[in-house]
Every structure is written in C-alpha cells, then in structure tokens.
Amino acid sequence: MKKIIPLAILFILLGAQNLVSAENRSLLEKILNRDLPGGAASKAKKNKIKELKKEKEKSTQEVYIECEHIDDKSLLEKVIRRDLPGGSGKKKECIRSVKKRQKKDPSYLNITDTDVSLYTGTFDVIDKEGDDQTSLLGIEHKNSNLFRDTLFGRVKPVSGAFVTGDSSFYLYSGIEAQYDIGPVKILPSFTPGYYEKGDGKDLGSVLEFKSEIKIGFDIFENSKLGYSYSHISNNDWGDTNPGTDNQQITFTKNF
C-alpha cells in the first residue's frame, strides 16, 4: 500500500505535465486526435469545442450580414463570378446565404441582369466613292449573368441587329470580352451573322463576320456611353469580299 500511493502521485504529476505540454499543440490537433487526458481535462476539451463552434457561428453570421448588405444584383453577380473577397470559405458561406434567402423568396435568384444597347453611326465609313456610305441604327442585347472567365478574360454572349439608310440589315450573334480599366471598359467582340444588302452595298455573301472594338464609359448608375469601330467581311467565302468599316456611338442601359 505504501508503494502504491507514491506511484499514484507520480502518475498524476506526469498526467498534469502532459496536459501542460499539450497546450503547445494546435487546438485542432488536440480535438481531432483526442489526445487531451480524461477527467478534469475532458471538461476543458468540451469547453474548447464549444468555443470553436461559437467562433464559427459568429463568423458565419458576419458573412451573412455582409452579403445581405450588398444589393441583390451585385451579390448575384459576385456569387456567379466567385470573386467575393476573404478566401474560398467565405465565398461558400455567402453562397449559402444566397440559397437561404432564396428559400424565403423563390424569386430572388430569378433576377435578370440585362444590358440593352442602342447605337447609331455611319456604315461604310471609309468608302472613297461615297455611293455606299450611309447611316445605320442598331440594337444589341447582353446578359451579364452569363459572364464566363476564360484565358481571354471575361467573356459573355452578345446578339443584335442593325439597319442602314439603304435598307441593308445585319443580324448577328457571338461573343464579347470585357476588360475594366477603372470606369473605362474595353469591349472587343466577334459576331458572325446574316447580311441582306437591300438597296445598299453588296458584301458578296449572306454570311458575314463582324469584328468590333468598343470603348465604354460609366456616365450614370447602370448607364454607359461608348464609341465602337467595326469591320464586316466574309473572309473570302463569297463571290466578292469588299468588306465595310463602320463607326457607332452607343448608349447602354442595365436592367
């Protein structure tokens, strides 16, 4: 009996020493490996787990609050682009917040983010003879929710049509990239389409290809003013390929 008591005391002291040294390990390692001693230490472990859960709940709540303070369209756009700040964990929490809001309001994620552009300008601007040069008027549609990140930058589909003063018209659909430099946006696009000459210039084929570069400026909230220059040709697939160069002033409104 006399020998057992000192051994028990020694065991308790060693256990206490292990507990103290365990404080130098990460909290995550202690919990996952369950290497905290039992007894009184077991209660300490439970308290640590509770603290972690409270911190996580607080962090999640802060993210929800932050997300809800962003306007709906902006939040939806950020979720789709996955460009919310704060790391992947924060992004996931914000996406969960969006889903949570969708359950309360099923129409929430049915928000449309549409750009409609009206433009006018000159068709065949470099025509030397001047017999084919005329005015043009067009409309264009884009959906910002369809942005995709690619090797060439952020790209989205675009479609539109224009008619000239000589009753020629062009229906087109293709892709447009966007590069932001502060309030200025550089928007190159490539849009194949159907061309009907009407009383105007014969471009040699009904299948034509439009390459365009546009510069846009934010002028008001959800509104942009831009200038664009485009070239239309059939890539020598038609009987002739005279091509045409055009310039336009564009007004774009986001809905």
How far apart CA 169 and CA 148 sit, in angstroms, is: 30
How far apart CA 209 and CA 214 sit, in angstroms, is: 16
Q: Which residues contact 100 (CB under 8 A, 6 or more apart)?
A: 64
Q: What pLDDT, on a 0 to 100 scale, did the predictor assign at position 195?
A: 97
**Highest CATH level, class, for 114-254:** mainly beta
Q: What pLDDT, on a 0 to 100 scale, did the predictor assign at position 88?
A: 54
Query: Which among 142, 152, 147 is positioned nearest to 83, based on CA atoms?
Result: 147
pLDDT in tens, the chain (255 residues): 554 554 455 444 444 444 444 444 455 555 555 554 555 556 676 777 777 776 665 554 444 445 555 445 555 555 545 544 555 555 666 666 666 766 666 555 555 568 899 999 999 998 877 788 999 999 999 886 677 777 777 898 999 999 999 999 999 999 999 898 888 899 999 999 999 999 999 999 999 999 999 999 988 767 889 999 999 999 999 889 999 999 999 999 887
For the chain, what are the domain ranges? Answer: 4-108, 114-254
Q: What pLDDT, on a 0 to 100 scale, did the predictor assign at position 48?
A: 72
pLDDT for 100-131, tens place per residue? 766 666 555 555 568 899 999 999 998 877 78
Q: What pLDDT, on a 0 to 100 scale, did the predictor assign at position 248?
A: 97
Q: What pLDDT, on a 0 to 100 scale, did the predictor assign at position 14?
A: 45
Q: What pLDDT, on a 0 to 100 scale, did the predictor assign at position 105?
A: 62
Q: What pLDDT, on a 0 to 100 scale, did the predictor assign at position 219?
A: 85
DSSP state of 34: T
Torsion region of 164: left, alpha or beta (phi above 0 gives left; psi -120 to 50 gives alpha): beta
Ranges assigned E (strand) in the chain: 114-123, 134-143, 148-150, 153-164, 169-181, 184-196, 207-220, 223-233, 244-254
φ, ψ of residue 227 in degrees (nearest 5): -125, 140
Query: Which among 128, 120, 130, 125 is positioned nearest to 163, based on CA atoms?
Result: 120
- Measure CA 181 to chain center: 16
Q: Which residues contact 137 (CB under 8 A, 6 or more apart)?
A: 119, 120, 162, 163
Q: Which residues contact 238 (CB under 8 A, 6 or more apart)?
A: 203, 204, 205, 207
